[in-house]
Amino acid sequence: MRFLLLMIIPLYSFTASGKITGIFELRELYYLANVNKAAAIKFYQAMENINSESEPVMISYKGMSQMMMSRYAVNPFTKWSYFSRGKDLLEVAVKKDPGNAEIRFLRFCIQTNIPVFLNYHSAEETDKKLLIKEWHNIADNDLKQRIKSYLLQSGLCNEAEKTLLL
């Protein structure tokens, strides 16, 4: 079964007020949030108005913004709270649109980078298989290259899987 990936997702960007108007800028902010606390705060604030009625990909990014905040929190209870809320939002997004490669990519990234004791690794293999299977069907070249780059650099793909991405 082929999935229509990202065909109906409008392009979002950020305005001066921090409102989202383009998916490319949202991805960049997500990547920056991984290495920069100020970007994580901006990312978190930009996702503030996203709710359970929003598009699934936006819900997934809101979940990621929560998880990014957990990275920079000092208090263990605050860390856990951000992480739990983010995980729940990400799972809501996956349930709403299980074939969306971007959502599954975000979950794969989190699950392959968090400590084992957080017990959030159960979908790693499933997500990787979906990403590899559907990689050639992804119309969004930016997303396609991000997925390819991550999978090839992660060390989580065998040689046969790597060949499918070339």
The verdict on residue 7 lying in a domain is no
More confident residue, 22 or 150: 150
The verdict on residue 123 lying in a domain is yes
- Asked whether 156 and 112 are in contact (CB, 8 A), the reply is yes
Question: How many structural domains compose the chain?
Answer: 1
Give the up-direction half-sphere exposure of residue 20: CA atoms within 13 A in the CB hemisphere: 29
pLDDT digits (tens, 9 = 90+) for 12-64: 333 444 555 588 899 999 999 989 999 999 999 999 999 989 999 999 999 99
pLDDT at 163 over 60: yes
**CA-wise closest residue to 3 among 99, 93, 94, 98:** 99
The verdict on residue 61 lying in a domain is yes
Report the predicted TM-score, pTM, of the whole model to 2 decimal places. 0.84
Backbone angles phi, psi at 22, to 5 degrees: -155, 130
pLDDT at 19: 53
Q: Mark out the alpha helices in the chain (DSSP H runs).
A: 23-33, 37-46, 56-72, 76-96, 101-111, 124-134, 141-154, 159-164
pLDDT at 166: 84
The verdict on residue 16 lying in a domain is no
Q: Residue 135 corresponds to which tokens in the numbers above? A: 């990689």
The verdict on residue 12 lying in a domain is no
pLDDT at 52: 85
The verdict on residue 94 lying in a domain is yes
The verdict on residue 33 lying in a domain is yes
How high does pLDDT run on average in the chain?
A: 86
The verdict on residue 143 lying in a domain is yes
Distance CA 59, CA 54 (A): 6
Count of CB atoms situated within 10 Å of the CB of 79: 17
More confident residue, 12 or 109: 109
% of the chain with per-residue pLDDT over 70: 87
Structural domain including 111 reads: 23-164
